Amino acid sequence: MQATLEALTEEMARDPAIFVLGEGIGKRGGNFRTTAGLYERYGPLRLCDTPICERGFVGLACGAAMAGARPVVDFMFVDFVLDALGEIFNQIAKVQYMSGGRLRMPVLLRGCIGVGHSAATHHSGSYHPLFAHIPGLRVAVPSNPADAKGLLRHALRGHDPVVFLEHRELLGVKGPVPEGDWEIPFGRAAVVRPGKDVTVVALSLMVRHALAACAALEKEGISVELIDPRTVAPLDVDTVLASVRKTGRLLIVDEAFGPFGLGSEIAAQVAERGLDQLDAPIRRLHGAHAPTPYSPPLEAAVAPTAKTVERAIRDLLED
Amino acid sequence: MAIPIAVPRLGWSTEEALFTGWLKEDGAPVRAGEPLYVLETDKASQEVECLDAGTLNILAGGPKAGDKVLVGALIGYLLQPGEVVPSSAPLVVSAREGKPAPAVVATFAAPEPERSRIAISPRALRIAAELGVDWTRIEGSGRDGRIVERDVRAALERGGKPGAGSVRRVIAERLSRSARTTVPVTLVTTADASPLAGIRRRLKESDGPDAPGYTDLVVKLVAEALCRHPALNARWEGDGVVLQEGIHIGVAVDTEAGLLVPVIRNVPELTVRQVAAASRDLAARARRRALRPEEMQGGTFTVSNLGAFAIDAFTPVINLPECAVLGMGRIERRPVAEGDAIVIREQLTLSLTFDHRIVDGAPAARFLGELAALIRGPGAALGL
Amino acid sequence: MNGRDSSRALDLYRRMLLIRRCEEQLARGHQRGLIHGACHTYVGQEAVAAGVCAQLGAEDVVFSTHRGHGHALAKGVPPRELFAELLGRATGCSRGRGGSMHLFAPEVGLMGTSGIVGPCILQAAGAAYTFKLRADGRVAVAFFGDGAVNNGAFHEGLNMASIWKLPVVFVCENNQFATEVPFSYSAGNPDVASRGAAYGLPGVAVDGNDVLAVDVAAEEAVRRAREGGGPTLLECRTYRTRPHSEGMPDFTYRTREEVEEWKARCPLARLRVKLLEGGTPRNWRRSRRKSRGPSRTPRSSPRKVPGPTRPPRPRTSTRSRGSCPRRPSAPLARSRSCRPPSRR
C-alpha cells in the first residue's frame, strides 16, 4: 500500500493532469490510506472528495479523461463500483475504439478485492474476471508491493483505462521495492519460483497461499513452478504454456468465482494451444460460487487457503 | 429525376412486410408528408409517408393488397411534370444484400470410430508416437489406470518396444477381410527393365545413397499407367465402384512389428526424387512406428516389392478397399530372344492382383501391358 | 430586427436549415436501405442545437444523445463526415464504427453521441472538471432528452456539478416522449427547469422551437459557466415531428393531429417569418451566397454511392425538395410541415 502511495505521489508531481476522485480520499487520506498526505500537497481540486455516487463520479471521470485529464477513481471496495458498470463497460471501455483513437481514456479505477476478516458479502468481491471480459479494459491484480508499484506507475503513464485491484489482506504486506523510476509492463507474468513437476498459476493473495503450499511440498521432493500473471487483461498465457511444456500438469488458483473465470480462460487457451503437452486434466481451484458469508468459519470455507492449494496439487499429481 | 418509391425498412431488422394497399391512386398528385401506402409487419400496421412531392406512378405488376413485399422492392415512382418512368430500373439497395438463406443443412453423424478403451494423456500419446512405443500394452499409473508420460518412458527403458502384437492383429484382420470379400485374380508378365536399370545407375552416380530406387521409379510409372487406365484407380465403397480422383500409392514396408503400408500422396504431381524422398521418410517412420494413422489411409493402389528376396512372381493380396496391387519381383539378367538373336536383358517380373468385382480381366491386362511398356521405354514419364 | 440581429438570426437559420436538410436526406437514405440500424432524426428540434451551439466556441465541447445528428452538425461536423458515418464508410466521423448513435469528432468539440441515456450528463460534468482543473475557461454542454431526467445520472451529475461549481450547461430537450412513453406519465415533477432548485442551481425553461429564445438563454448560461458561476439547467420544450426512429410507426402513442399542430410551430418557418418581417432582403441574399459552403447537403441518392467501401460523393443540392422552403411561394404548396403560423 505504501508502495502504491509512493507511485501515486511521484506521478502526481510529474503530471499535473492527474487527479483523484473518491469517497474520503481528501483530508481523510482514503479509507485504506491510499492517498494519505496527498491532500495537503495537492489541494482539494486534485484530491476530490465525492458524494456517494459511484456511477456519477465514474461517469465524470470518463468525461474528464475525454477532455484531457487523467483521473484516478478510488472506490475503496470493488463491490461499490458495480453501480458504475454501465459507465465502465459502455463508455470508458469503448470511447477509444469508437472515436478511432482520437480520444484517449487514461482512467485508473482502483479498489480493494477479496475475502477476509468477516467483511461479508458487500465488501468481499473479486470481480477481475468481469472486467477482463470487456474489450478495451486492462486489469491489474498485483500480489506484492514491488509489482503493485511498478504496475500502478505503468497504468498512470498509459492511454488505456485500467482497473487496478488490490487484495485487502495484502495491503499491510511488506516486501522489497526497488528504488528509482521503473515500471512493469502489462501482460508479463512472473515466474515466482521455478519447478518441474507441476505448474501452478495463482493471482493476488493466492500467490502467497501457493508459496506456502510449495514450501510444504518441497520437503517431500515435489517441485512446483509457480506463476503469477499479475495482469488478467492482457493475460500472459505464453509463460504458462512454456511451463506446462516442462511439467505437463496445470493447476489454476484464484479467489474469484470459477465459472467463466481466470481458471476457465487459462484452461481453454492451454487446451487449445498445448493439448498434447498435458499429462493430466487441467485443475482449477476457485472461491466458492456463492455470496461470501460473514461468520468466520463459514468465511474460511469459501476461499482457497494454503492447505487447500496443497491438497489440490497433491491430487493433480495423482492424475 | 423520377423519385423511386421503395419499400422501407420498418424497425431495425424487418426484411419483408405485408402490403395492405395504396392510399393514393395512380396518377394522383402527392405532397411531401402525405401518407402514401400501408404496410403491415408483425409489429403493427403503418402508413408510409412520402418524403417528396410529385405525381404517383404505380408500377404495373407491383404488389397488390395482401402481397408480401421485400424491403427495398421498387413499387412506384414520383414523377415531376414532364418526367416519364425511367426505362432502366434504378438501383435500390435491399437491406441485406444477400445470399438466399441456405435450405435446411443436413448434418450427418460421423460413424463412431472404434475407440480404444485404454485411457492415455495427450502428452503421453504424443511421446509414445515420438519414441515409437506401443502404448496399447502399457499399464497406466495415473488415476483409474490412465497412461501418463512416466509410464511411456518407463516402458521404453524396460526395452518394452515391443508388442508387435497389436500390429499383427490388425494385419490378420485386414488380410482375412480382403480374402473374404474380394475376388482376386493375379496376372503375371515380364518387362524389359534394361532402360530402367540404366536410369537407376545414372541416378546413383549423381544422387548417391539417396538416389531413387527401383520401387520409386516403378511407383512413378504405375501412376502414369493409372492416369491412362483410371478403371484400376478405383475403390469398392459400400456396394459399388467409385473411381478415385487422386492417385495415392501405398508402398508395402516390412517392419519388425509386421507389414505396414504408408501412402505416397498425389504421385502424378511429384517428381521421381520427391517420390523417393517421401517414400524414404515414410518407410523410416514406419519402422520407428511413428506414422500417423492418416498416413496409412486413403491409398488408391499399392506396390509391393519382394525383389530383394530373389522372388520373381507372387500373388500379392489386395489392400482393401483398393482395386489392385502390383507385386515387383527381382530384376535379373536373362537371355532373351530379340529377333533371331539371343541377347542379355535386365528382366523384371510383374504380378498384378486385381479385384474382379471392380474390373474385368481385359482392362487389367491392358493396364499391366501399358506398365510393362512404360518400364521398357520410360521416356518422359519419369520426367528425368 | 437591426442589422446585427438579423445577421445573427440568419446564421441561426442557416444552422437549422442545414440540420433539417441533412435529416430529410438521411431519412430518404434509410428508406432506401442505405442507412442501417437505427436512425433517430432531429426534425422539429433544430432550434435547440442551433441556438445553444451558436454560443459555443470551437474549444468548447458537447456531449450528446442517441438523437445527435443535429448537435454534431451544429457543433461543426462536416455533413459529408456525418453522411459517410451513417453509410458505414471509413471516411465517417467515427470511421464507420459508430453509425447514427455513436458520432465522435473531438477535433470540433463533439465528444460523442451515445446509445445509452444518461452518461452524457456525467461526461459533460467530467469535461467541465478538467476545464476547471486547468482553469482554461472552456465550457462543456450536455444535451439530453426528457427521458434522461428521471435517470440517476441526472441526479448525480447535476449534484456534483453544483457542489463543485463546474463550467457546464445541462440542456434538456424536452420533446415530451421517452421513445414513446409520455413524459407526463413518467415524471413525478414534469417541470424540468424547477428541478434545478433541488441541486441548488438555476433552472430556466424556454420555448425550444424559438431559436432566438434558446439563443438568449444559452448565452446567459454559457456566460455563467465561463465566468465561474457554475452550471445551469436549461429546459427547451420542443417536439420531434418524425417517429422516434426512422421506420417506426408513429401514431400508436400520439395522434396525427398533435404532430400536425407541432409541425405548424416549425422553428425554421417561425424564424423565417420574423426575418421577412424584419425585411432586409439585401442581407438575406448576400448571406445566402456566403452560405453556400456550410449549407451544402450531401445527397444519399443511391446512384451516387458506387461501392460499399467508398465514401459518399456529396453533391450540392440544386433544387429544394425539403419541407422547409427558402421561398414562401411555390415550395410551400408541397409542404404541410412548415407552413408558417401566419398563413394558417
- String of DSSP letters for C71-116: HHHHHT--HHHHHHHHTT-TTSTTTTSSGGG---BGGGTB----SS
Rounded Cα gap, residues A64 and C57, in angstroms: 19
Rounded Cα gap, residues C315 and B227, in angstroms: 63
Q: Least CB-CB distance to C106: which of A56, A57, A102?
A: A102
Same domain, A122 and A53: yes
Average pLDDT over residues A216-238: 97
| Residues of chain A neighbouring C92 (CB-CB closer than 8 A) | none
Which among A271, A313, A300 is positioned nearest to A117, based on CA atoms?
A300
Which of B1, B23, B34, B46 is best to mutate for the C interface (most C CBs within 10 A)?
B46
> Fold for domain B122-157?
Dihydrolipoamide Transferase (4.10.320)
Res. C304 pLDDT band, cuts 50 70 90: very low
Q: Is the pLDDT of residue B286 over 90?
A: no
Residue in the block written with cell 450536455: C142
Active site residue A167: no
The answer to whether residue A176 is domain-embedded is no
Residue in the block written with cell 461479508: A120
Q: Is the pLDDT of residue A311 over 90?
A: yes
**Which 3 state secondary structure label does DSSP give B210?**
helix
With beta carbons less than 8 A apart as the criterion, state whether B299 and B319 touch.
yes
Give the sign of the dihedral formed by CA A243, CA A249, CA A252, CA A257: positive
Res. A255 pLDDT band, cuts 50 70 90: very high
Residue A240's CATH number: 3.40.50.920
Strand (E) or helix (H) holding C26: helix C3-31
| Cβ within 8 Å, pair B32-C32 | no
Residue A111's CATH number: 3.40.50.970
With beta carbons less than 8 A apart as the criterion, state whether A237 and A229 touch.
no
- Please list the alpha-helical segments (H only) found in chain B: 122-131, 149-157, 165-181, 194-207, 214-228, 272-288, 361-376
DSSP-derived letter for residue A106 is -
With beta carbons less than 8 A apart as the criterion, state whether A141 and A230 touch.
yes
Q: Is the pLDDT of residue C94 over 90?
A: yes
Q: Which chains touch A (3 or more CB pairs under 8 A)?
A: B, C
Rounded Cα gap, residues C287 and B123, in angstroms: 80
Same domain, A54 and A90: yes
Which among C250, B66, C159 is positioned nearest to A50, based on CA atoms?
C159
Whether B121 and chain A come into contact, CB under 8 Å, resolves to yes
Give the sign of the dihedral formed by CA A263, CA A266, CA A272, CA A276: negative
Which of C32, C66, C248, C339 is best to mutate for the B interface (most B CBs within 10 A)?
C32
Cα angle C287, C292, C297 (rounded to 5 degrees) comes to 130
Residue in the block written with cell 465541447: C61
Q: Domain limits at C218? A: 3-343
With beta carbons less than 8 A apart as the criterion, state whether A237 and A245 touch.
no
Q: Is the pLDDT of residue B155 over 70?
A: yes
| Cβ within 8 Å, pair B142-A248 | no
Final residue of a domain: which of A170, A204, A231? A170
* pLDDT > 90 in chain B, percent: 36
Cα angle B373, B374, B379 (rounded to 5 degrees) comes to 125
Active site residue B229: no
Rounded Cα gap, residues A117 and A114, in angstroms: 10
Q: Write the pLDDT tens digit of every residue in C307-343.
A: 344 444 444 443 434 444 443 333 333 333 344 444 3
pLDDT of residue B175: 80
CA closest to B34 among chain C residues: C336
DSSP-derived letter for residue B207 is H
Q: Is the pLDDT of residue B269 over 70?
A: yes
Partners of residue A202 on adjacent β-strands: A253
pLDDT of residue A2: 85
- Chain A and chain B share a number of CB contacts under 8 A equal to 31
Residue C229's CATH number: 3.40.50.970
pLDDT of residue B88: 63
Same domain, A150 and A261: no
Domain count along chain A = 2
The answer to whether residue A116 is domain-embedded is yes
- How much helix, strand and coil, in percent to the nearest 5, is found in chain A? 40, 20, 40
pLDDT of residue B290: 76
| Cβ within 8 Å, pair A63-C127 | yes
| Cβ within 8 Å, pair B149-A279 | yes
With beta carbons less than 8 A apart as the criterion, state whether A7 and A166 touch.
no
CA distance A275 to chain B (A): 6
CA closest to C139 among chain A residues: A67
pLDDT of residue C308: 41
Same domain, A212 and A286: yes
Q: Domain limits at A21? A: 2-170
Residues 6+ apart with CB under 8 A from C188: none
Q: Least CB-CB distance to B143: which of A248, A276, A319?
A: A319
- Cell readout for B356 is 474382379
| Cβ within 8 Å, pair B123-A318 | no
Rounded Cα gap, residues A96 and A113, in angstroms: 27
pLDDT of residue C105: 97
**Residue B148 or residue B15, greater confidence:** B148
- How much helix, strand and coil, in percent to the nearest 5, is found in chain B? 30, 25, 40
Rounded Cα gap, residues B57 and C51, in angstroms: 41
Q: Least CB-CB distance to B9: which of C247, C251, C335?
A: C247
Res. C279 pLDDT band, cuts 50 70 90: low
Q: Write the pLDDT tens digit of every residue in C289-300.
A: 444 444 445 544
Same domain, A7 and A115: yes
Q: Is the pLDDT of residue B98 over 50?
A: no
* Burial classification of residue C240, based on how many CB atoms lie within 10 Å of its CB (0-12 exposed, 13-18 middle, 19 or more buried): buried
CA distance A63 to chain B (A): 30
Same domain, A24 and A100: yes
Same domain, A80 and A197: no
Res. B354 pLDDT band, cuts 50 70 90: very high
pLDDT of residue B210: 86
For the ranges B50-59, C49-58, C130-139, the lowest mean pLDDT is seen at: B50-59
Same domain, A127 and A23: yes
| Residues of chain C neighbouring B14 (CB-CB closer than 8 A) | 247
For the ranges A210-219, B194-203, B289-298, the lowest mean pLDDT is seen at: B289-298
Parallel/antiparallel/unpaired status of strands B184-192 and B240-243: unpaired
Same domain, A71 and A214: no
**How far lies B350's CA from each of B365, B371, C220, in Å?**
12, 9, 106
Res. B87 pLDDT band, cuts 50 70 90: confident
* pLDDT > 70 in chain A, percent: 100
Q: Write the pLDDT tens digit of every residue in A115-125.
A: 999 999 999 99
Within 10 A of A121 (CB to CB), how many other CB atoms are there? 14
Using omega within 30 degrees of 0 as the cis cutoff, is the peptide bond preceding B102 cis?
A: no
CA distance B81 to chain C (A): 14
Q: What is the largest CA-CA distance in chain C?
A: 55
Q: Is the pLDDT of residue B57 over 80?
A: yes
* Domain ranges across chain B: 3-79, 122-157, 183-382
> Which residues numbered 230-289 in C keep a CB inside 8 Å of some CB on A?
none
With beta carbons less than 8 A apart as the criterion, state whether B79 and B55 touch.
yes
Rounded Cα gap, residues B18 and B20, in angstroms: 6
With beta carbons less than 8 A apart as the criterion, state whether B32 and B53 touch.
yes
Residues 6+ apart with CB under 8 A from B257: B134, B163, B164, B167, B168, B289
Q: Least CB-CB distance to C97: which of A62, A86, A98?
A: A98
CA distance C225 to chain B (A): 40
Q: What is the largest CA-CA distance in chain A?
A: 59
Same domain, A194 and A159: no
**Which 3 state secondary structure label does DSSP give B123?**
helix
Whether C90 and chain A come into contact, CB under 8 Å, resolves to no
| Cβ within 8 Å, pair B121-A248 | yes
- Cell readout for B13 is 431488422
| Residues of chain C neighbouring A64 (CB-CB closer than 8 A) | 126-127, 129-130, 133
Same domain, A156 and A197: no
CA distance A161 to chain C (A): 15
Q: Is the pLDDT of residue B108 over 50?
A: no
| Cβ within 8 Å, pair C33-B6 | yes
Asked: is B183-382 a CATH 3.30.1330.20 domain? The reply is no
| Cβ within 8 Å, pair C33-B92 | yes
Q: Least CB-CB distance to A248: which of B143, B146, B149?
A: B149
Whether B62 and chain C come into contact, CB under 8 Å, resolves to no
Same domain, A13 and A117: yes
Q: Least CB-CB distance to B33: which of C251, C252, C336?
A: C336
SS (HEC) of B12-54 = CCCCEEEEEEECCCCCCEECECCEEEEEECCCCEEEEECCCCE
| Residues of chain C neighbouring B4 (CB-CB closer than 8 A) | 32
Asked: is B3-79 a CATH 2.40.50.100 domain? The reply is yes
Domain count along chain C = 1
Residue in the block written with cell 520437503: A219
- b/e string for A171-182 if b means 16 or more Cβ within 10 A? beeeeebeeeee
CA closest to B142 among chain A residues: A319
DSSP-derived letter for residue B91 is P
